[in-house]
Chain A
């Protein structure tokens, strides 16, 4: 089974007809995301995200490596996503699908190539050592709009992650353990997110955050990557039916609005988690003091 089982024709028709009356199956508005729920694991950079029934885990990790010869001042940053049969029975383990390539490509463009993570700040010693940051995306449940969900989770993970502190002394790199020095946050230059749109009924209906059923009934897809400042860093309209240029511009505004909304929510969650950690850390410290 290399692809998702398509929905029945009647079901598809039902979705389309309902949309003609501006009704979505789950009662959401056209520009409304499904409820977003983000939780953090024990370690830094461990994010569990649920967007409706789509859910995934992102883990960020860092290690010291040698920088690339042609870019001695740059650290490395990679996003690894492999779709496994866990997310959907239609995906086969160990065999990449077109969809996987597509989502990885969007993630790469929106997060990596837009320089959201300042790779130069990852350099420790020119040409000798640098940090290599790796984001692993595990898709647990797939119910549409994987692109946006993964993008949000990776960005949250990067903001949440703390790498160990490292200093250079006499040409030797010293990496301090987490218990010795407060680990450092990554240098995030801006916070771009992707917003995917699905088009229906010859471009009359354009929805954000489509569910899997809606995605299957859609005639075309467009992805816009944009940051809080309204700077577009990625636009892709590559498959399906054609789209009127005006709606591309209109939807860019919608995307900006959504990204601002999402980023505000992310900030809130991140702050809350940070506060919780600070409290826990203090409790730990006082306990340790008592022990002594």
Chain B
């Protein structure tokens, strides 16, 4: 299976940016984060002791509609918990996350937008890291489909996603919490439990937690685990950023 590709900080103007491309589902998402940024004073939006998170999703080949508002809401509620909006410098300011689908098929009206959520979430996580926004944890997301015969398939393509009995998007934090679960279709709870198990094993490499609480991933991770992938991407970009320091040392 061809794994996803991602890169950090590819834009100049935004404070942080990242691109995430998943060849299986075909989604290619570019994320930009501006933070902290002054938001125009809206009396209802600004919280006195917390940052205001705004998420904006821009479809690739269509005008944004109600479906985008729906994914934006999911992303926003999830990220509000992950971003440490009370950290110094962030309260009363905004964290603006802009995501553009620059590749892949556009979802049609009324389609389930949940297939694009993993790509959007990964792009926003990497962009947030690139913008150095304080986060309480990182997270990884996966999309699973359950066919009529009860088989669980990973990352179904948009066409395959239409044929499955149920679709599930699950997101796990770096500490093992279930952060997001979005399911659609017809299924029972036992199916969901199986899906959850499989999703957890895809998202989280078998992490051996050291005594100091640090997670040791091991160099031999095969890249099939999403969190190892996210970690590697960030490590690579850090390595590039600190080349000057590493070489002089």
Chains A and B touch (C-beta atoms under 8 A apart): yes
A88 at the interface (CB under 8 A from B): yes
- What 1/0 flags go to B97-110 for Cβ under 8 Å of A? 01010110010000
Residues of chain B contacted by A140 (CB below 8 angstroms): 11, 30, 32, 100
A61 to B108, CA, bound (A): 13
B54 at the interface (CB under 8 A from A): yes
Residues of chain A contacted by B15 (CB below 8 angstroms): 89
Contact indicator A86/B37 (Cβ below 8 Å): no
- What 1/0 flags go to B27-52 for Cβ under 8 Å of A? 00010101001101000000000000
Distance in angstroms from A230 CB to nearest chain B CB is 34
Contact indicator B14/A136 (Cβ below 8 Å): no
Contact indicator A136/B98 (Cβ below 8 Å): no
A84 at the interface (CB under 8 A from B): yes
Chain A: interface residue total (CB-CB under 8 A): 29
Contact indicator A143/B13 (Cβ below 8 Å): yes
Residues of chain B contacted by A94 (CB below 8 angstroms): 56
Residues of chain A contacted by B17 (CB below 8 angstroms): 86
Contact indicator B13/A82 (Cβ below 8 Å): no
Task: Name the CB-closest residue of A to B34.
Answer: A89
Residue in A42, A59, A84 whose CB lies within 8 Å of B56: A84
Residues of chain B contacted by A80 (CB below 8 angstroms): 63
Task: Name the CB-closest residue of A to B96.
Answer: A85
Residue in A1, A86, A93, A136 whose CB lies within 8 Å of B61: A136
A138 at the interface (CB under 8 A from B): yes
Supposing A85-B96, A87-B13 touch, asked if A46 and B103 sit within 8 A by C-beta, the answer is yes
Q: State which residues 194-245 of A face B: CB under 8 Å.
A: none
A134 to B40, CA, bound (A): 32
Contact indicator B98/A93 (Cβ below 8 Å): yes
A31 at the interface (CB under 8 A from B): no
Distance in angstroms from B168 CB to nearest chain A CB is 28
Residue in B34, B54, B60 whose CB lies within 8 Å of A59: B60
A100 at the interface (CB under 8 A from B): no
B12 at the interface (CB under 8 A from A): yes
A213 to B44, CA, bound (A): 35
A156 to B58, CA, bound (A): 22
Distance in angstroms from A77 CB to nearest chain B CB is 14
- What are the 6 A-B residue pairs with the smallest beta carbon separation, nearest first? A93-B56, A86-B32, A61-B61, A86-B98, A89-B34, A85-B98
Residues of B within 8 A of A (CB): 11-15, 17, 30, 32, 34, 37-38, 40, 54, 56, 58, 60-63, 96, 98, 100, 102-103, 106
**Subset of 7 A-B contacts with CB under 8 Å:** A61-B61, A85-B32, A85-B96, A89-B13, A89-B34, A136-B62, A140-B100
